[in-house]
Chain A
Amino acid sequence: MPTALKILIAGGFGVGKTTMVGSVSEVAPLLTEERITEASLGVDDLAGVEDKSATTVAMDFGRITIAPELVLYLFGTPGQDRFWFMWDDLATGALGAVVLADTRRLENSFASIDFFEERRIPFTVGVNCFHGRCDSSAEQVRAALDLDQDTPVVLCDVRDRESSKDVLLALLETARARVAASLASSDSA
């Protein structure tokens, strides 16, 4: 049986998550949804589908077949609300995450950044330069978001496959470095 891996594409509403998924996916972005409840934090059990505290969370995703035995799914997190943070199944076991940011609305990416930092999920910030123009440098964005030095900030145009690939590669290098560092520290211990 093959293994499936996932990378999350997070960020505020309208920042280009679906566009990024579509620019690298081998299939047109797929849409699915799940009902989650506040009471079922991390518990995969929904008692009563009419529960008023339940909410519907929809997300886009795409697929990249890396090898016959390795499939990568890219999940665009739901953009309009922050309920997806309660959707443990979505974040659990992710290889890493891309947080897409728009320099005009940087605050929309704060929640996602906090989430991945708290969970120690490797992430990269992709600054989507709409129409190819960016009014900030990567360093300015890094300072504004108060990011660690090991979190890459990549200026990108998510409509462009090569540009989206660069963001994913920056993330994967971060994930690789983190695994290598943890292996090195367990060797020396």
Chain B
Amino acid sequence: MPESRRRDGTETGRYLRPYAITGGRTSHNQHAFALLTLVVARSADEVPPGHLQPEAVQILDLCRHRAVAVAEIAARLDQPVNVIKVLCGDLLDAELILVQAPPRQEDQPSLEMIEKVIDGIRQL
């Protein structure tokens, strides 16, 4: 895990460069992602180099064999969440990823799902 990150968030200057990756965009104009939106690469094959930005390639590598939440992608790539959301929007437009939105506030979880979580925690 990168240690460069200041936990108190005082290092404000670092924000200017990450948004260069997104061409200055701080949100995607078509897709809304949540912290918990899961992302998985459509294909297990590697994307030919030169086709995508390095950060987009890193996202595909991370999500090739497992669905990973946007928040986790951001942490592992050491980028602000907003940057990852924009890059994932571009990857979705390019049909390189599949995404699954998390439950919304009004979606009451099912008893079955909660019980599955209870069993899972007990077995830890």
Contact = CB atoms under 8 A, between A and B. Distances in A.
Given A3-B100, A4-B36, A95 B116 contact: no
A161 interface: yes
A61 B73 CA distance: 12
A169 B120 CA distance: 10
Contacts of B21: none
B116 A70 contact: yes
A37 to B, nearest CB: 10
Nearest to A46: B26
Given A58-B7, A71-B67, A35 B114 contact: no
Contact of B76 (A30, A95, A161): A30
B113 interface: yes
A92 B38 contact: no
A111 interface: no
Interface stretch (A100-108, A124-132, A135-143, A177-185): A177-185
A189 interface: no
B75 A161 contact: no
A182 B106 CA distance: 13
Contacts of B111: 176, 179-180, 183
Given A5-B103, A89-B35, A56 B9 contact: yes
A80 B9 CA distance: 10
Given A45-B27, A172-B117, A73 B71 contact: yes
A2 B100 contact: yes
Interface string A82-107: 00000001101101000000000000
A58 B36 contact: no
Contacts of A168: 121
Contact of A61 (B40, B71, B115, B117): B71
A82 B118 CA distance: 30
Contact of A32 (B75, B104, B108, B115): B75
B54 interface: no
Contact of A1 (B8, B38, B71, B119): B38
Interface of A: 1-6, 24, 28, 30-35, 44-47, 49, 55-58, 61, 63-64, 66-67, 70-73, 75, 80, 89-90, 92-93, 95, 161, 165, 168-169, 172-173, 175-176, 179-180, 182-183
Top 8 A-B pairs, shortest CB-CB distance: A66-B120, A56-B9, A30-B75, A1-B100, A32-B75, A34-B81, A46-B26, A32-B74
14 contacts: A3-B103, A5-B109, A24-B124, A33-B81, A49-B16, A58-B7, A58-B9, A70-B113, A80-B8, A93-B107, A169-B118, A172-B114, A172-B118, A179-B114
